């Protein structure tokens, strides 16, 4: 166990930037709605498939309504005990039923796959060995039939000004489960050669129209492998 004396905003930013992920998160922070909603949304972004989030202090309005709004926006997530939906919209100050007796928690479970829909989703900017992206690799958890929208970004630091290049593509995808490669019609290539004193980050943003894309793992850029 490691104790890190810092705010959830700083911690989760570093977790996402480092490409880390969790199987279990307990949220027990500030209880105002906006803070609880941030902790829940940002933690959900770091969860592996089937991961568990426990939201504490649902006897207070902030955490419990953060959970209610979150499940409304992310219907693929599971209310483990089926209690969040029993909150009476006409009695917003009544203490809700917790997920388990004698506690003040809601327990939420991530779906068994990463969800990509029509709202573009970033999987975080990651350190990369090279400044070139010619395509992305997907590991489909379910058959897909729709249009994949991709934005690939390469950022190079250590030069002035910082170099930022990107390309977008709309690619029809019709495939069964398993890994597939999606080449970019226009590759992204840095104009800065590999050398000491520079470092690079790549970011892949994806959306999917015509259905829901279910991924077994986050998208990966190639050939710009992560460091």
Decide if pLDDT at 224 tops 70: no
Q: Across residues 87-107, what is the average pLDDT?
A: 95
Residue 131 in contact with residue 224, Cβ under 8 Å?
yes
Q: Which residue has the higher pLDDT, 222 or 55?
A: 55
In order of their start, the domains of the chain are: 8-112 (3.40.50.150), 116-223 (2.60.40)
138: nearest Cα among 80, 177, 112: 177
Q: How far apart are CA 50 and CA 42, in angstroms?
A: 16
Q: What is the mean pLDDT of the chain?
A: 93
Query: How confident is the model over 67-80, as a mean pLDDT?
Result: 97
Structure tokens at 27: 């949220």
The residues, ordered by sequence, that sit 6+ positions from 102 with a Cβ below 8 Å of its Cβ are none
Paired residues of 143 in beta bridges: none
**What is the DSSP-derived secondary structure letter of residue 34?**
H
| Mean predicted confidence (pLDDT) in 103-119 | 97
118-168 pLDDT, tens digit per residue, is 999 998 888 888 899 999 999 999 999 999 999 999 999 999 999 999 999
Q: How far is Cα 219 from Cα 104, in angstroms, rounded to an integer?
A: 36
Element (H, E) at 64: helix 61-73
Tokens of 217: 């793992």
């Amino acid at each position: 166990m490691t104790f890190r004396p810092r705010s959830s905003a700083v911690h989760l930013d570093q977790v996402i930037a480092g490409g880390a992920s969790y199987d279990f998160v307990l949220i027990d922070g500030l209880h105002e709605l906006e803070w609880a909603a941030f902790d829940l949304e940002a933690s959900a972004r770091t969860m592996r498939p089937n991961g568990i989030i426990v939201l504490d202090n649902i006897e207070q309005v902030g955490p419990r309504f953060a959970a209610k709004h979150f499940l409304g926006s992310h219907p693929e997530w599971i209310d483990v005990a089926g209690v969040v939906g029993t909150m009476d919209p006409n009695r917003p100050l009544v203490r809700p039923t917790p997920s388990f007796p004698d506690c003040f928690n809601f327990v939420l479970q991530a779906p068994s796959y990463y969800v990509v829909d029509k709202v573009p989703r970033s999987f975080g900017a990651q350190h990369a060995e090279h400044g070139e992206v010619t395509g992305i690799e997907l590991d489909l958890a379910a058959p897909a039939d729709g249009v994949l929208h991709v934005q690939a970004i390469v950022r190079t630091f250590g030069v002035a000004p910082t170099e930022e290049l990107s390309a977008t593509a709309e690619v029809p995808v019709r495939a069964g489960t398993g890994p597939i490669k999606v080449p970019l019609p226009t590759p992204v290539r840095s104009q800065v050669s590999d050398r000491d004193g520079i470092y690079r980050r790549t970011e892949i943003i994806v959306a999917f129209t015509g259905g829901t894309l279910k991924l077994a793992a986050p998208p990966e850029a190639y050939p710009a492998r992560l460091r």
